[in-house]
Amino acid sequence: MRYVVGLINKYDAGKFPKDLKEMGIGRVIQLASNENPYPPPEEVIEAVKKEVLWINRYPHPEYRDLKEKIAEYCKVDYGMISIGSGAMDILKVIADVLLEPFDKVVVPMPSYSYYTFVSMLRDAGVEEVIFEGYRVNVESLSGKLVFLCSPNNPTGNTVDEKTVRDACENFEYVVLDEAYAEFAGKSFVKLLDEYENLIILRTFSKYFGLAGMRVGYSLSNESIAEAIEKIRSPFAISPLAAKAAEVALDNLDYYERVRRKIVTLREKMRRELENYYYVYPSEANFLLFKHDRENLVDEFLKRGIILRDVTGLRGLEGNHVRVTVGREGEVEIFLEVLREINED
Ligand X SMILES: *Cc1c(COP(=O)(O)O)cnc(C)c1O
Among 74, 88, 249, 296, binds ligand X (CB under 6 A): 88
Are the C-beta atoms of 178 and 201 separated by less than 8 Å? yes
Q: Which of 150, 153, 158, 319 binds ligand X (CB under 6 A)?
A: 153
| DSSP codes, 146-191 | EEEESSPTTT-PPPPHHHHHHHHHHEEEEEEE-TTHHHHT---GGG
User: Which residue, 216 or 315, has its beta carbon nearer to ligand X?
Assistant: 216
150, 203, 220, 282: which one contacts ligand X (CB under 6 A)?
203
Q: Which of 216, 239, 304, 315 binds ligand X (CB under 6 A)?
A: 216
Nearest CB to ligand X, comparing residues 149 and 325? 149
- C-alpha 333/C-alpha 344 separation (Å) is 17
Q: Of residues 268-327, which lie at the interface with ligand X (CB under 6 A)? A: none
- If one asks whether residue 87 binds ligand X (CB under 6 A), the answer comes out as yes
Cβ proximity to ligand X, 201 vs 338, nearer residue: 201
For residue 334, the Cα-to-chain-centroid distance in whole angstroms is 23
* Beta carbon nearer to ligand X, 31 or 179: 179
Q: How far is the CB of 49 from ligand X (least distance, A)?
A: 23
Measured from the CB atom, is 147 or 195 closer to ligand X? 147
The number of residues making up the chain comes to 344
* Minimum CB distance to ligand X, residue 57 (Å): 24
DSSP string spanning 24-53? T--S-EE-SS---SSPPPHHHHHHHHHHGG
Determine if 186 is a binding residue for ligand X (CB under 6 A): no
Only segment of 63-71, 83-91, 230-238, 292-300 that touches ligand X (CB under 6 A): 83-91
Distances, alpha carbon 314 to alpha carbons 54, 116, 138, 328, in Å: 46, 11, 18, 32
User: What part of residues 163-182 is at the interface with ligand X (CB under 6 A)?
Assistant: 177, 179
Q: β-strands 104-109, 143-149: how paired?
A: parallel
Of 93-112, which residues contact ligand X (CB under 6 A)? 112
**Within a 10 A sphere around the Cβ of 107, how many other Cβ atoms?**
22
Output the residue with the shortest Cβ distance to ligand X: 86
- By CB under 6 A, the count of residues binding ligand X is 14
- Distance of alpha carbon 139 from its chain centroid, rounded? 25
Nearer to ligand X, 179 or 240 (CB): 179
- What would the DSSP string read from start to end of 255-293? HHHHHHHHHHHHHHHHHHHTTTSEE---SSSEEEEEE--
- Which is it for strands 216-219 and 278-279: parallel, antiparallel or unpaired? unpaired
Residue placing its CB nearer to ligand X in the complex, 117 or 171: 117
Nearer to ligand X, 184 or 338 (CB): 184
* 34 near ligand X (CB under 6 A): yes
35 binds ligand X (CB under 6 A): no
CB atoms within 10 A of CB 214: 20
CB of 120 to ligand X, least distance (A): 17
Work out the end-to-end distance of the chain between its first and last CA atoms, rounded to an integer number of angstroms.
Answer: 52
* Residues of the shown chain interacting with ligand X in the complex, contacts defined by CB under 6 A: 34, 86-88, 112, 149, 153, 177, 179, 203, 205-206, 211, 216
